[in-house]
Structure 1
Amino acid sequence: MNINYELPENIQHLLTENKNQTNTFKELIRQGGYMPPNIDLLIDAITALSMGKNILLKGPTGAGKTKFAETLSNLFKQPMFSVNCSVDLDAESLLGFKTLTYQQEKQIIEFIPGPVINAMTTGTFLYIDEVNMAKPETLPLINGVLDYRRTITNPFTNEVVTAKEGFGVIAAINEGYIGTVPLNEALKNRFIVLEIPYIEGEQLKKLIHSSTKLTNDATIDLFVRLSSDLIQAVSQGKLSEDAASIRALLDACDLSMVIPPKRAITRAIVDKLDEDREKEFVKNLVDTLF
């Protein structure tokens, strides 16, 4: 694979053709990062960011989108400023705010930069989580940041801020949840979209080993089987996506070091579900395995 643009030295090898996938996963585990379901997902994300593209991570809750963003930040050796979107997100939450302070006993107005300005001026990554939770009129404030201009006129200082080299944007989206809105086309077209599926099988087993305190292989295998059954039930419309959250499963694995696995699963997974029908469904699955 010929790369015509500069990549960080520590990830050059990840874009080499025929790179052994096992070694790549070991590298990610060593860095405490996300293990993608396939190496192409990692390569495509690295490629897009290296070319100055924004990437949008789409996938169910608990699939590992935030962990993937953190892994990319580690691989590029880039700090990452974060924005957690909600209906209350406003210009101050994105860009910063003014406050009164003192300088040599004189009261002055000082601007405190927010995550967008910080990421731009330091040339680092910006992570926008649950981007479709923000009000439709809020995110257009940063349209210029997300396109080729990489600039914004700070409404609080009237300063034109241009992003330093190295600046990149990673966003994540959960579709179909209460409070979310569809992304408008102007915003969506500013991203390269990557679908992030659930981790399963051997990759999930490795993740449990590396990310939880659970060490018993037999119990880990049962949790992997439970996860597979939950994911299948979600795909068949029998359960909501919350039931198959990998994050919740890892919590259950940790709890099972101290309390019985059935009770751990009840606390970490079952009790988060809203419908009694779904709770009973998961309990039945657990009874067959544990």
Structure 2
Amino acid sequence: MTAPRRYRATATTADAITDGAAATGGGGGGTGAPSAASRTPAPASAPAAPSRPASPAPGKGKAAVVVRPNGQAYHPRKLADLPDVAALQRLRDASIPAMLYGPPGTGKTSLVEAAFPDLITVAGDGDTAVADFVGEYTQAPGGGYEFVYGPLVAAMTEGRALFIDDATLISPKVLAVVYPAMDGRRSITVKTHKGETITAAEGFYVVAGHNPGVHGAVLTEALASRFAAQIRVSTDYDLARTLDIDARAVRVARNLSRRAESGEIGWAPQLRELIAFQKIAGVLGTDAAVSNLLGVAPEEDRDVVAEVVSSVYGRTVAPLALGNQM
């Protein structure tokens, strides 16, 4: 199975666009200029899209484990009386964009990867630019510049799912480039490539991830209105138990989660932290894993976390740190 493609802005993104425009006279036929704007683009050396699974009918009983492209197992959870994977696939079939929101480490990315084997991912942050979606001019091996299409164009032309991870960290002006592809127009205009029009093929779908409370994350009205289905994702602590994670660590996480929900603290261990706990315990021992769990907590919440950890493990706990010379 082909691994999902992930894209992120780099320090050279803006320079590549500026240099490319200068070398081609603003995209008007310089050295290495691409073909006419009327053609349908095909991203260079793009792997064939993995086959898209059919949306399963509702069923009873425990949902089957789904293997993600990286080989890790995903355990489906219930969503509208369906396995969450099947529910997302049905939303895609109905062309209903979905946004998954919740604390980091709750499994949003895992769910999307399990649901859509043909996924293309854009990892959003404050430096993400329009070029990171539609493409940019880059220097060709033989000299000159050529236009390389971005993940949005790839997903549209190949009829694939596009996951905008951490979408609310991206500037609203940048995200606006995606909106025409999501509405009735189903097309975008690539201004930097001779005003080329890209039309979405059947199967194109957009899903986004949002981490409320993360510094810099802003869910604008314009963004929220584009995603008709908004699904809260929280940690399944019962799943943590089935993964053989230390029951005491799960008890600590549950306690802190309740306190976070009441507003007493702002952080609680999610499934990601609990899986890390178990791995560290297997390598350095349980005491080190407990100390590390306290150390990863934000400083403003550390006193409460220490209190809960100490009450569950029956001893005073300090963050994992180096000791005296051996």
TM-score range, shorter chain: 0.7 to 0.9
Q: C-alpha distance in 2, partners of 1:164/1:40?
A: 27
Matched, 1:167 2:204: yes
DSSP 3-state at the match of 1:204: helix
Q: CA deviation at 1:287?
A: 2.6
| d(CA) in 1 for partners of 2:211, 2:232 | 11
If the length of structure 2 is used for normalisation, what is the TM-score? Answer: 0.71
Decide whether aligned partners of structure 1 residues 166 and 58 sit closer, same or farther in structure 2, where only a CA change above 3 A counts.
same
Q: Percent same amino acid at aligned positions?
A: 23
Task: Call closer, same or farther: CA 1:66–1:256 in 2, change over 3 Å.
Answer: same
Q: How many Å separate the matches in 2 of 1:37 and 1:121?
A: 32
User: Separation in 1 of the partners of 2:83 and 2:298?
Assistant: 33
> Aligned partners of 1:37, 1:47: CA distance in 2, in Å?
14
List alignment gaps of at least 5 residues for structure 2: 1-50, 314-326
Aligned 8 A contact 1:101 1:108 in 2: yes
Q: Distance in 2 between matches of 1:253 and 1:37?
A: 25
Q: Residues of 2 paired with 1:21 and 1:183: CA distance?
A: 39
Structure label with greater radius of gyration: 2
Shift of 1:48: 0.9
Contact 1:101 / 1:110 at 8 angstroms: preserved in 2? yes
Unaligned runs of 5+ in 1: 1-7, 210-216
1:254 alignment counterpart:
279
Aligned length: 256
Over 3 Å counting, the alpha-carbon distance change for 1:234 and 1:11 in structure 2 is farther
Q: Distance in 1 between matches of 2:304 and 2:93?
A: 44
Give the drift of 1:102.
4.5
Q: 1:222 & 1:37 partners in 2: Cα distance?
A: 25
Q: Show the 5 A alignment for 1:72-221.
A: 72-74=115-117, 78=118, 80-102=119-141, 107-157=143-193, 158-185=195-222, 187-191=223-227, 192-201=229-238, 203-206=239-242, 209=243, 217=244, 220-221=246-247
The structural deviation recorded for 1:226 is: 2.3
Q: CA deviation at 1:116?
A: 0.9
Seen in structure 2, the aligned counterparts of structure 1 residues 12 and 129 have a Cα distance that, compared at 3 Å, is closer
- SS at structure 2 position matched to 1:56: strand
CA distance in structure 2 between the aligned counterparts of 1:109 and 1:239, rounded to whole angstroms: 52
Deviations 1:175-232 (A, max 9, x none): 23221223223x322212111122122x2323xx2xxxxxxx5x63223222211211
CA separation in 2, counterparts of 1:279 and 1:246?
19
Cα drift, residue 37 of structure 1? 5.0
Deviations 1:83-109 (A, max 9, x none): 122221111111111022155xxx442
CA distance in 2, matches of 1:45, 1:73: 9
1:280 alignment partner, one of 300, 303, 310: 303
Q: Which moved more, 1:220-229 or 1:154-163?
A: 220-229
Match of 2:20 in 1: none
**Root mean square deviation, CA, Å:** 2.4
Letter in 1 for 2:162: L
The whole-number CA distance in structure 1 between the counterparts of 2:138 and 2:55 is 44
Aligned equivalent of 1:56: 99
Matched residues in 1 for 2:175 and 2:52: separation?
33
Partner of 1:36: 77
- In structure 2, distance between residues paired with 1:161 and 1:265: 52
1:9 shift after superposition: 8.6
- Give yes or no for the alignment of 1:240 onto 2:266: yes
Higher helix share: 1
- Please give the secondary structure, in 2, of the residue aligned with 1:178: coil
Q: For the Cα contact (< 8 Å) 2:157–2:198, is it kept in 1?
A: yes
Q: Kindly tell me: are residues 83 and 29 of structure 1, through their superposed partners in 2, closer, same or farther at Cα, counting changes over 3 Å?
A: closer
- Counterpart CA distance in 2 for 1:236 and 1:155 is 48
**TM-score (norm: length of structure 1):** 0.79
